[in-house]
């Protein structure tokens, strides 16, 4: 791959960083941005400074697609400290009301408005109990506060707080392809000395990530140029039906055109662009 092609990839890709304990999520994304001399980079899904794990970072124009990737289930592994020794059966009984849809009030120190919200707890597994320390794994709806979940559970017992937490999955991103800041920094150093291989293997082309979260609709090449300057998608542009999902990705073979949202009752217009990659 030429340097010019790599620069284009850097401007429309993602990297899955293994966030360490200490820095904020914003500091991590800024470090990535500065290291690669990019105009923009943004993280997807804030982790508290002491929380580690999966932190996807969008690069360049891919930042405009954050909403497409962010609002998906998250999985965490953590340790909660019980304030008194409790049998496993009693703990499981206390956990039962916290499975499924719950009402959660964000913690006082959160940056969001403190208003009750509904969140889905898909699973909460007790993996191991060592005295008062409980190793757990939980899959939750995006926007769920795990620390608050543990606190609220503790109120049903004799108190509990979170000791450690690691995010192991965020939507399509997991620990199977994740890189520490040290590995990233080393790859950037190699890249700046003319060796691209290590950095290339870390980058996820945005087009490939999009295919994993949205249905793909193919369009004929003759319609591409007009669409790239913002023309709405018309019935006559397609020879295939639209997917059931309201939002979809438009491709011409392997070429990504944009993200479109279906519209109703606008004559021949069937979808309008949310993002065009021109």
Active centre residues (catalytic): 48
Listed in sequence order, the residues at least 6 apart from 121 whose beta carbon sits closer than 8 Å to its beta carbon are: 98, 99, 100, 101, 102, 138, 139, 140, 141, 144, 149
Structural tokens at position 83: 């304030």
- Identify the helix (H) or strand (E) that includes residue 104: strand 100-104
Structural tokens at position 237: 């542009």
d(CA 183, CA 181): 5
Listed in sequence order, the residues at least 6 apart from 8 whose beta carbon sits closer than 8 Å to its beta carbon are: none
């Amino acid at each position: 791959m030429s340097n010019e092609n790599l620069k284009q990839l850097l401007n429309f890709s993602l990297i899955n960083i293994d966030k360490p304990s200490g820095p904020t999520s914003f500091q991590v994304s800024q470090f990535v941005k500065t290291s690669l001399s990019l105009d923009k980079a943004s993280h997807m899904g804030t982790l508290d400074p002491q929380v580690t794990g999966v932190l996807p970072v969008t690069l360049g124009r891919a930042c405009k697609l954050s909403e497409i990737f962010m609002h998906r289930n998250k999985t965490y592994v953590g340790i909660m400290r019980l304030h008194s020794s409790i049998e496993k059966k009693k703990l499981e009984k206390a956990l039962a009301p916290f499975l499924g849809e719950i009402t959660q009030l964000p913690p006082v120190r959160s940056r969001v408005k403190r208003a009750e919200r509904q969140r889905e707890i898909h699973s909460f597994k007790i993996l191991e109990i060592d005295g008062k320390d409980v190793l757990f794994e939980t899959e939750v709806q995006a926007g769920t506060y795990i620390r608050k979940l543990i606190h609220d559970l503790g109120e049903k017992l004799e108190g509990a707080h979170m000791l450690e937490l690691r995010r192991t999955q965020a939507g399509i991103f997991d620990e199977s392809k994740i890189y520490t800041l040290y590995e990233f920094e080393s790859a950037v150093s190699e890249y700046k000395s003319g060796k691209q291989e290590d950095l290339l293997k870390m980058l996820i082309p945005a087009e490939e990530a999009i295919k994993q979260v949205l249905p793909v609709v193919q369009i004929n090449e003759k319609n591409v140029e007009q669409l790239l300057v913002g023309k709405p998608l018309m019935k006559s542009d397609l020879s295939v039906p639209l997917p059931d999902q309201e939002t979809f990705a438009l491709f011409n073979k392997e070429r990504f055109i944009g993200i479109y949202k279906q519209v109703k009752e606008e004559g021949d217009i069937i979808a309008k662009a949310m993002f065009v990659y021109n």
